[in-house]
Structure 1
């Protein structure tokens, strides 16, 4: 199975972790790249992210220009929203940090499956009747939800940017707001405010761990915003994908419910301007699952420890 496909002037190639794979890319040509550049009227210093359906398969596309000309990186999107069992993730671990109001973060490096897990949560809450009216702000829209109560807005086509989409969403007063990615300070602050206003806010963030996700948001915000974040946070899920073979992956994840005990620890960090330390001893609780614990379980199950050492604890 091809995980990524690249279209360049010199040809088309796809890769997995193990080998090049070209079998399913015969219909892709550089003409597609040129047509996309023309469609979006891109200049050489611009990039573009969007989704495209080709031969019945949906792709996330990233257009960019290099010294060799325009190029496209395509990533295959699942044809359906996966279940928790298919993800290899405990529904209890994840749903426990998403059921109330406030901000829940889904963190990990690029390609870790953050959006996939978040959309599985959306689908699960929808099926249980907990989701309510939902507005998403995404760039681009990766997973399609076909229920009338879910309104998906794409940045660049249906809304100007994430901040504008968030402000608009709060005015519409939905139960749930979904943010495709928190990329800047303005989006971070509006996400925090939306959580404090009584909305369930689900968002992805590029960070490798729970600790790093909090530190990164604090870096986005000013002193007042840091305090608001502690009040707004409902929970965090951090994950990594480990590619064992061409077709086999393991999701290594940790989750944290930000309850009163956790909020007190975070407030103490802010009050004393001290280093943020989140560890299993300080935060041991029913809904706390650590990356180290997951790593140990995979080792017990027979996964090569050298494959796991690439994941930062």
Structure 2
């Protein structure tokens, strides 16, 4: 049985018991959702993420089953890659942590725009001639890069899984490898190895801050992997997307370049099994503000503090 259909721009879910108008000419019907379920031969305990073009407009679709039946959540995908100015992200802050080889992480909660920022970086590096031959492993492919040196592979259709895609990518020896999301220990380890072998590796990770991103990676890894993290990690960008009145949004972010000082801090944590002590000082030395500092600035400027409770 097909039941609920949801359409969102930012994953704000709603309920409908009838066909849903995506625009003046396109309607999402139960028949369409049922067709997707049959196409992917889904069982009730399975979910599916994919992209779908309807009347020339691309959507990210998530299919899942509940007690009420099959459900579809759709998110509108931008038709073009956004600029740093449009994102409200400082280009110098972000590009400085992904210029060389090694792993750069783009972090944030669901819906924070981390994939959007990562793809803006890809586009910027492409335009500056620094990107080189690039292989992406994504689930699903959200942003289309129309360049013959960028090869986008979708998990489940063009490659089995993220780990297999990474191993395949290393055989092709690209300049840049893009990982849609690090979800498990195997992908984390292969990403770090690729960075250590001289590739620029860009990936997203669900984490609310720089410290949480490092802690999450450590949770994935064994002792050997911990050492790889210190050697391979190039930078981290953590961001939150704050929705305020009149459909306005603020992107709050912090960016950390993993230089020798940061590596020394990470090594001390490993050597003494102590608590991670990265703090505001490590960002201030690079003339950057932390997420908490930017939060306080917004509150001073009149933004409702309740909208910023996700940042602590």
Q: TM-score, with normalisation over the residues of structure 1?
A: 0.91
Paired with 1:219 and 1:180, the residues of 2 have a C-alpha distance of 19
Q: How many Å apart are 1:303 and its aligned residue?
A: 2.2
Shift in alpha-carbon separation, 1:308–1:37, aligned structure 2, 3 A: same
Residue by residue over 1:258-309, the C-alpha shift from the partner in whole angstroms, topping out at 9 and shown as x without a partner, is 0000000000000000111211135542164310222233234432333223
Residue by residue over 1:175-194, the C-alpha shift from the partner in whole angstroms, topping out at 9 and shown as x without a partner, is 00000000000000000000
Count the aligned residue pairs.
312
Q: How many Å apart are 1:55 and its aligned residue?
A: 2.2
Paired with 2:276 and 2:123, the residues of 1 have a C-alpha distance of 33
Shift in alpha-carbon separation, 1:69–1:93, aligned structure 2, 3 A: same
Please say if residues 192 and 229 of structure 2, whose CA atoms lie closer than 8 Å, have aligned partners that are also in contact: yes
Residue by residue over 1:3-53, the C-alpha shift from the partner in whole angstroms, topping out at 9 and shown as x without a partner, is 996179999974899999987696111111100011111111111100001
Q: Secondary structure at the match of 1:239?
A: strand
**Structure 1 stretch displaced more, 130-139 or 7-16:** 7-16
Q: Secondary structure at the match of 1:14?
A: coil
Q: How many Å apart are 1:236 and its aligned residue?
A: 0.1
Q: Secondary structure at the match of 2:39?
A: helix
Q: Secondary structure at the match of 1:205?
A: strand
Shift in alpha-carbon separation, 1:68–1:169, aligned structure 2, 3 A: same
Residue by residue over 1:134-170, the C-alpha shift from the partner in whole angstroms, topping out at 9 and shown as x without a partner, is 0000000000000000000000000000000001101
Please say if residues 19 and 29 of structure 2, whose CA atoms lie closer than 8 Å, have aligned partners that are also in contact: no
Shift in alpha-carbon separation, 1:168–1:8, aligned structure 2, 3 A: closer
Shift in alpha-carbon separation, 1:199–1:5, aligned structure 2, 3 A: farther
Shift in alpha-carbon separation, 1:2–1:167, aligned structure 2, 3 A: same
Q: How many Å apart are 1:67 and its aligned residue?
A: 1.1
Please say if residues 3 and 68 of structure 2, whose CA atoms lie closer than 8 Å, have aligned partners that are also in contact: no
Please say if residues 102 and 196 of structure 1, whose CA atoms lie closer than 8 Å, have aligned partners that are also in contact: yes
Shift in alpha-carbon separation, 1:213–1:5, aligned structure 2, 3 A: farther
The corresponding residue for 2:152 is 152
Paired with 1:183 and 1:293, the residues of 2 have a C-alpha distance of 29
Q: How many Å apart are 1:60 and its aligned residue?
A: 0.4
Structure 1 stretches of at least 4 aligned residues deviating more than 6 Å after TM superposition: 1-5, 7-13, 15-26
Q: Secondary structure at the match of 1:10?
A: coil
Q: TM-score, with normalisation over the residues of structure 2?
A: 0.92
Is there any run of 5+ residues in structure 2 with no aligned partner, and where? none
The RMSD of aligned alpha carbons is: 4.3
Please say if residues 105 and 204 of structure 2, whose CA atoms lie closer than 8 Å, have aligned partners that are also in contact: yes
Residue by residue over 1:54-93, the C-alpha shift from the partner in whole angstroms, topping out at 9 and shown as x without a partner, is 1222110001111111111111111110000000000011
Please say if residues 135 and 152 of structure 2, whose CA atoms lie closer than 8 Å, have aligned partners that are also in contact: yes
Paired with 2:132 and 2:176, the residues of 1 have a C-alpha distance of 7
Q: Secondary structure at the match of 1:15?
A: coil
Is there any run of 5+ residues in structure 1 with no aligned partner, and where? none
Please say if residues 17 and 245 of structure 1, whose CA atoms lie closer than 8 Å, have aligned partners that are also in contact: no
Paired with 1:272 and 1:134, the residues of 2 have a C-alpha distance of 38
